[in-house]
Amino acid sequence: MSTTGRKLDHIKIVSNEKVEAKEKTTLLEEVELIHNSLPGLDRDSIDVNIELFGKKLKIPFLISGMTGGHPDAEKFNLALAEAAEQSGSAFGLGSQRAMLEDKSLSSTYKVRSVAPTALIFGNIGIPQISEYSPSDISSMLDDVGADALAVHLNPLQESVQPEGDVDMVGLAASLKDLVKELGFPVIVKETGAGISKDVAKILIDCGVSAIDTGGAGGTSFAAVELFRKEGNELSEFWDWGIPTAASILEIRAVSKEIPLIATGGIRSGLDVAKAIALGANVVGMAGPMIKAATKGSAEVLLEIEKLRKSLGTAMFLCGASKLSELVRDKTILNGALRSWQDQRGL
């Protein structure tokens, strides 16, 4: 199947089918935030602003990349980007491989008309960085007005996908070369299976500007591909991956400084608060935003405002007046997450 057809399949399946993890969770439920009975704050004055790549976000939230590359995807990207602009969130485009293959599809990714000031990430899969030159990729980003490039890692999805590319030899070296030559910040993100401390070290050595956990516990792209091929072969990998909370700990064990985006199964402002307390700077969501976008940008904006209120409430109840005050000493780790931390030496 063509890249364009595959992208449309992804939108339809994520919007209409149950493709969440079955038993695997993010492990954020194992994080307890310490309640402060005397916060000494005005909840409505709590500061949730943050700066990333030179742009100010009014909320530490990314509408994570999932869609593009098909004419039907344009309305989704416009709705999502408009909501990002109005809410002060960041916005990630879905994989732009389709537009590299067919320039006529570039319009499905162009959202600056509705998001003139938003922080926007372009997107390409790591196998494609050895197929296209840094100049090609830079032109791709310029064409859509992106501020940075997200390179996605998806070996699980490629393994289950009927058309999957499972030759990933030498891609770390290709990534390092791209980072040196591109002229844009490069974020590396997983797509639902998480990033370990070992991979985080490789990425940091490559010079990436930020890492996105893309952890397990939310939308399973193994499940999406199983729906696409209408079969059960490799269905045992539906729940494969490193839970989002564990991936945050893994990455922070390697670097306390690198900007960290937590995605994968985030479903509330309380999840956002917990992820930030564990070490994330920005938190993102994809699947629920796609579903909201089927009803338009107003519905997406409503979901973001719910997150903002919930995050502010969690911070208020922890006595945190700003994001930098949501720190690990305000948390207790329980059960499976504590076990993961101990066994992995995090």
Q: Which amino acid is at 197?
A: K
Kindly state the tokens that stand for 139: 């032109």
- Residue 123 one-letter amino acid: N
- Distance separating alpha carbons of residues 252 and 197, to the nearest angstrom: 8
Q: Would you state the pLDDT for residue 1?
A: 53
CA distances from 79 to 66, 86, 113, 135 (A): 13, 11, 11, 29
Sign of the CA dihedral 293, 275, 115, 98?
Answer: negative
According to the model, what pLDDT value does residue 70 have?
Answer: 77
Q: How are beta strands 61-63 and 90-92 bridged, if at all?
A: parallel
| Residue 62, CA distances (Å) to 120, 275, 321 in order | 9, 13, 21
Q: Where are the beta strands (DSSP E) in the chain?
A: 31-33, 50-52, 55-57, 61-63, 90-92, 120-125, 148-153, 186-190, 210-212, 260-262, 282-285, 331-333
pLDDT score of 263: 98
CATH code where residue 125 lies: 3.20.20.70
Residue 156 near residue 193, CB atoms below 8 Å: yes
Residues in the chain: 346
> Alpha-carbon distance 302 to 155, whole Å?
34
Query: What is the structure's pLDDT at 166?
Result: 86
312 lies in which domain range?
3-344
Q: How many domains does the chain have?
A: 1
CA–CA distance, 217 with 214 (Å, rounded to integer): 10
Over the range 22-45, which residues count as b (16 or more CB within 10 Å of their CB) and which as e?
Answer: eebbbbbbbbebeeeeebebeeee
pLDDT of residue 71: 79
Residue 257 burial (CB < 10 Å; 0-12/13-18/19+)? exposed
- Per-residue pLDDT of the chain (346 residues), as tens digits, is 566 656 666 667 777 778 888 999 999 999 999 999 999 999 999 999 999 999 999 999 999 977 777 778 899 999 999 999 999 999 999 999 999 999 899 999 999 999 999 999 999 999 999 999 999 999 999 999 999 999 999 999 888 887 778 888 999 999 999 999 999 999 999 999 999 999 999 999 999 999 999 999 998 877 777 777 666 777 898 899 999 999 999 999 999 999 999 999 999 999 999 999 999 999 999 989 989 999 999 999 999 999 999 999 999 999 999 999 998 888 999 999 999 999 999 9
Rounded Cα distance between 184 and 299, Å, is 32
Per-position b or e across 285-309, b if 16+ CB within 10 A of its CB: bbbbbbebbeeebeebbebbeebbe
